[in-house]
Amino acid sequence: MATEFEITEAKPGDAEAIASLFALSWVSPFTRLQWGHIEPSLMVPRVSARMMTEGSRFLVTRSRGTGEVVAVAQWTMPVMPGADVENSESEDDRKERQQFEDEVYQRNLPENSNKDLVMAFTLGLRQLREETLRGRPHFLLENLATHPDYRGKGLASQLVVWAFPFADEQQVLVYLDTASGSPAERLYKKLGFKEQGHNTIADLSRFASLDTIQALDCETNHTHVAFIRFPAPLGQDTE
89: domain CATH number is 3.40.630.30
User: Does 234 map to a domain?
Assistant: no
* DSSP state for residue 99 in the 8-state scheme: H
User: Does 50 map to a domain?
Assistant: yes
Query: How high does pLDDT run on average in the chain?
Result: 93
For 94, what's the count of Cα atoms within 13 Å in the CB-facing half-sphere?
5
Residue 51 contacts residue 15 (beta carbons within 8 Å):
yes
Residue 198 contacts residue 226 (beta carbons within 8 Å):
yes
pLDDT at 80: 78
pLDDT > 90? residue 89: no
Range name among 86-100, 177-191, 215-229 with the lowest pLDDT average: 86-100
pLDDT > 60? residue 73: yes
pLDDT at 95: 87
Residue 228 contacts residue 173 (beta carbons within 8 Å):
yes
Please, which pLDDT band fits residue 4 given cuts at 50, 70 and 90? very high
Residue 133 contacts residue 172 (beta carbons within 8 Å):
no
Element (H, E) at 5: strand 5-9
Contacts of 62 (CB under 8 A, 6+ apart): 5, 6, 7, 8, 68, 69, 70
User: Does 225 map to a domain?
Assistant: yes
pLDDT at 90: 85
E-state strands within 23-179: 56-63, 69-76, 138-146, 173-179
pLDDT at 85: 45
What is d(CA 186, CA 173) in angstroms, rounded to the nearest whole number? Answer: 19
Rg of the chain taking only CA atoms, in angstroms:
18
User: Does 239 map to a domain?
Assistant: no
Residue 91 contacts residue 49 (beta carbons within 8 Å):
no
User: Does 62 map to a domain?
Assistant: yes
Question: pLDDT for 112-157, tens place per residue?
Answer: 999 999 999 999 999 999 999 999 999 999 999 999 999 999 999 9
What is d(CA 239, CA 222) in angstroms, rounded to the nearest whole number? Answer: 33
Average pLDDT over every residue of 46-67: 96
What's the domain count of the chain? 1
What is d(CA 76, CA 59) in angstroms, rounded to the nearest whole number? Answer: 11
User: Does 173 map to a domain?
Assistant: yes
Average pLDDT over every residue of 225-229: 99
Q: Residue 154: what are its φ and ψ, rounded to 5°? A: 80, 15
Closest CA to 226 of 190, 196, 193: 196
What spatial distance separates the first Cα and last Cα of the chain, rounded to whole Å? 15
User: Does 169 map to a domain?
Assistant: yes
Please, which pLDDT band fits residue 2 given cuts at 50, 70 and 90? low
User: Does 237 map to a domain?
Assistant: no
The parent domain of residue 65 ranges over 5-229
Question: pLDDT for 23-45, tens place per residue?
Answer: 999 999 999 999 999 999 989 99
pLDDT > 70? residue 84: no
Q: Residue 215: what are its φ and ψ, rounded to 5°? A: -65, -30
